[in-house]
Chains A and B, each alone.
Chain A
Amino acid sequence: AQKITQTQPGMFVQEKEAVTLDCTYDTSDPSYGLFWYKQPSSGEMIFLIYQGSYDQQNATEGRYSLNFQKARKSANLVISASQLGDSAMYFCAMKGTSYDKVIFGPGTSLSVIP
């Protein structure tokens, strides 16, 4: 069975600082993809970044980077230079092959403090 764990229900970060949101996953699939989504209070789900299990390099998208440690089955999201608009829920997600639908972790609420 596939599972996503996000152990930080809530996080605070000072504006302009970097923050790491933790995500660990469990799968026996040899090939899978990992995602991060942002959900502001408006409710929309915004795709941030993707990492494939066979990608040699960690994914980066602007201020977002994914710290992928395959042996530890972790895919932490790093947000650099936090902005007030980064305050939102963040969901880690995964899509494998044995169950080929995207499953989501419980989410982490990030609050950026001015």
Chain B
Amino acid sequence: SAVISQKPSRDICQRGTSLTIQCQVDSQVTMMFWYRQQPGQSLTLIATANQGSEATYESGFVIDKFPISRPNLTFSTLTVSNMSPEDSSIYLCSVEFYQGIYTQYFGPGTRLTVL
């Protein structure tokens, strides 16, 4: 399995500002995923981050709003830019593992509130 940490665990931000969320994994992984979970909703994939290449964004998500960095095989950041109250969500990073079966593990999440 993988141990995944995220910083910050929660934050309260003002409208129009930006927040960068960090995700650290205790082992090298090829792909990292960023999800958003709006209040009372399920998880929605924002983008997939591969080391050394541009992130791949899902429909409805754009790089200008959610820039992602992936400088190495154990670390990634997601920035939520020019925030509005609609961005209030839990943001989760995730990594995939193959150990006989395919598994996807999640970090503890970052709970963001935008005022």
- Among A19-27, A75-83, A104-112, the stretch that binds chain B is A104-112
B103 A45 Cβ-Cβ under 8 A? no
Pairwise interchain contact B90-A43, C-beta atoms closer than 8 A: yes
| B43, A91: Cβ atoms closer than 8 Å | yes
A68, CB-defined interface residue at 8 Å: no
Does B29 sit at the interface, judged by CB under 8 A? no
Could you tell me if B48 and A101 are in contact, using CB atoms closer than 8 angstroms? yes
Contact at A43–B104, with CB atoms within 8 Å? no
Question: Which segment, of B20-28, B74-82, B106-114, faces chain A?
Answer: B106-114
Question: Once the chains are docked, how many angstroms separate the CA of A6 from the CA of B94?
Answer: 22
Q: A92 CB to closest chain B CB, in angstroms?
A: 10
Residues of A within 8 A of B43 (CB): 45, 91, 104
Q: Chain B 75-108 against A: per-residue CB contact (8 Å), 1 yes, 0 no? A: 0000000000000001010100000011111111
Chain B residues, Cβ within 8 Å of A104 = 42-44
Which residues of chain B (35-62) have a CB below 8 Å from chain A? 37, 41-45, 48, 58
CB distance from A70 to the nearest CB of B (A): 17
B101 and A50 form a contact (CB under 8 A): yes
Residues in A neighbouring B45, C-beta threshold 8 A: 101-103
Cα of A33 to Cα of B94 in the assembled complex, Å = 17
Q: A28–B97 Cα gap in the complex (Å)?
A: 24
| Residue in contact with B42 in the complex, picked from A33, A95, A106, CB distance below 8 Å | A106
CA distance A35 to B105 in the complex (A): 11
Nearest B residue to A89 via CB reads B42
Q: A105-B42, A107-B42 are in contact. Are A95 and B108 (CB under 8 A)?
A: no
Please name the 8 residue pairs, one residue from A and one from B, whose CB atoms are nearest each other, closest first. A45-B106, A43-B109, A104-B43, A104-B42, A44-B108, A50-B101, A106-B42, A43-B90
Q: Which residues of A contact B (CB under 8 A)?
A: 33, 35, 37, 42-47, 50, 52, 91, 95, 101-107
Give 20 CB contacts A-B under 8 Å.
A33-B101, A35-B104, A43-B90, A43-B108, A43-B109, A43-B111, A44-B106, A44-B109, A45-B43, A45-B94, A46-B106, A47-B104, A50-B103, A52-B101, A95-B102, A101-B33, A101-B45, A101-B48, A102-B94, A104-B42
